Structure 1
């Protein structure tokens, strides 16, 4: 379940206090806080399956896959968002502040649920686009992935993968994952 702590502006320090005492996922969006309870088993299986493939693929490369417990901070002069993408890929010498990343990921996968879908398809979509995430994948737990690729600064749907297909990254074109294996329990 996802809750929005609404109509109140929270400072970053207040957010850090709430996050430290919350047993779940807390995300910050320009003063708004979104809280999520722990994920479902199905969500966890999909996350682990994708992460396993990404971890193996990037083992010999200068990139690494991370999961939802690691924060990515998207910040500009009048904008600050602290998100914990379900799965993301960082490459090179990504800038960090403590355990949080300050550099935009190359690829993000968000696994949709009733409680996260609106944020994943709305505010996160536009944030990831604005801050240059090259590939954004919306993973529907019913067995398909909608791939968005950053082209001339805007996202375009470049592929929709369903059961029986093979996911092919638009950024790392030799990264290929059997969709059936992503959704296998």
Structure 2
């Protein structure tokens, strides 16, 4: 019989866990699993983070309103199975909650969120994000096949855009400061002055 975990202190933070374990965690802290390792998420996002997230979701969600792709905002579990591996719950070692994501393949959606790489992921930096965490996510999204990755830097009023090339590696585009245009959805253009204002 599976044991429900109600306190994060019941876990070995240096242990390795799966999505099946993650489903048994009912504590107040928000965590992500990256390759089986627990990463505590920052406390509830601050006001600036929430404003930016809301404005981006409004524009991205509006763009996809009459489209076959769908936009989702956190908290929304994205399970990223290892490539060429079984995708049963106990074999999934990575569960992340991007600030925003767009999924075009409806077969990846289920009652638990998304199983497989979204087409677009947007992460908004908060003061609590560590360089290690962001590096791990960059590598993870690249190797999982996320086609486009936006990293929003509120302190710089800029968005860094990474697009997956034919070799499966991210190519960084010049930082977007006035407006941003998606490479994989060319008609998706956002005035950043309205996002950061």
Length-normalised TM-score, structure 2:
0.82
Give the corresponding residue for 1:15. Answer: 22
Structure 1 unmatched runs, 5+? none
- RMSD over aligned CA atoms reads 1.9
Give the corresponding residue for 1:58. Answer: 64
1:111 maps onto 2:136 in alignment? no
Cα separation, 2, equivalents of 1:170 and 1:177 = 12
Give the corresponding residue for 2:175. Answer: 160
What is the CA distance between 1:34 and its match in structure 2? Answer: 1.5
What is the CA distance between 1:80 and its match in structure 2? Answer: 2.2
Length-normalised TM-score, structure 1:
0.87
Q: Is the 8 A contact 1:168 1:175 kept in 2?
A: yes
Of 137, 143, 165 in structure 2, the residue corresponding to residue 151 of structure 1 is 165
Task: State the secondary structure of the residue aligned to 1:80.
Answer: coil
Q: 1:10 to 1:92 in 2, by over 3 A?
A: closer
Larger Rg: 1 or 2?
A: 2
Number of residue equivalences: 176
Q: For structure 1, which segment, 76-85 or 124-133, has the greater mean C-alpha deviation from structure 2 after superposition?
A: 76-85
Give the corresponding residue for 2:112. Answer: 99
Task: State the secondary structure of the residue aligned to 1:171.
Answer: coil
Q: 1:105 to 1:92 in 2, by over 3 A?
A: same
Q: Is the 8 A contact 2:45 2:126 kept in 1?
A: no
Structure 2 unmatched runs, 5+? 1-11, 86-90
Q: For structure 1, which segment, 31-40 or 172-181, has the greater mean C-alpha deviation from structure 2 after superposition?
A: 31-40
Task: State the secondary structure of the residue aligned to 1:116.
Answer: coil
Q: 1:137 to 1:49 in 2, by over 3 A?
A: same
Q: Is the 8 A contact 1:110 1:120 kept in 2?
A: no
Give the corresponding residue for 1:130. Answer: 143
